[in-house]
Amino acid sequence: MHDLHDEGATREQIEHALVTLPYHPAMIRAVKALKSANSPKTTFLCLSASNHVYIRTILAHNGLGDLFADIVTNKAEWHGDRLDLRRHIGPDDPPHNCTVGCSPNLCKGSELTSFLARCGETYDRIMYVGDGSNDFCPSIRLSENDVVLCRRDRALQRRIRAAPELVKATVKYWEGAWEIEEYFNSLIKS
């Protein structure tokens, strides 16, 4: 981000670029519908290797900002037109000790476990939507009652195929946001 700042990019230009990123309308409809139906009761958690500014800007622009109970990601803060980023787990912090292969700055599996312990809720089912290699760790922490919504032809699918015995949850593959929308709508109707 310092390079962008050094090249003269302004906060407004960066935020404009973020809100012009394509976010499929079916995904927006799916998340809003599932949350508003509240049957089943739904809690959304965002685990991301991105950063707070990017995620909050994109969610707010798409009317999803208030739907998430928590967003666990890298820290980000504006200082004038410069966006300063800090790792979720900094280089001087104790490591997360994950042996699954999570990136040094964030173990999504331990963050999911921590969130569940913190919120004190008991869930009938956890649905985890992911596509990256870092999504494998939370996927193998889920139970038989849970669902991994795994994007086809991405790193998560390759990791699941390499070690299917580690995944207890049902795995449903998807390519487009409309498939997530169909699946979420089926939950509302059941």
- Binding-site residues sit at 131
Q: Which two tokens stand for residue 152?
A: 């086809």
Beta-carbon contacts of residue 59 (< 8 Å; ≥ 6 apart): 46, 65, 67, 68
Sort residue 120 into left (φ over 0), alpha (ψ -120 to 50) or beta.
Answer: left
DSSP E strand stretches across 80-146: 82-86, 127-130
CA–CA dist 139, 82 (Å, integer) = 35
CA–CA dist 108, 114 (Å, integer) = 10
Nearest Cα to Cα of residue 48 among 152, 134, 124: 134
Distances (CA, A) of 56 to 23, 98, 127: 13, 27, 21
Instruction: Return binding residues for Mg(2+).
Output: 131
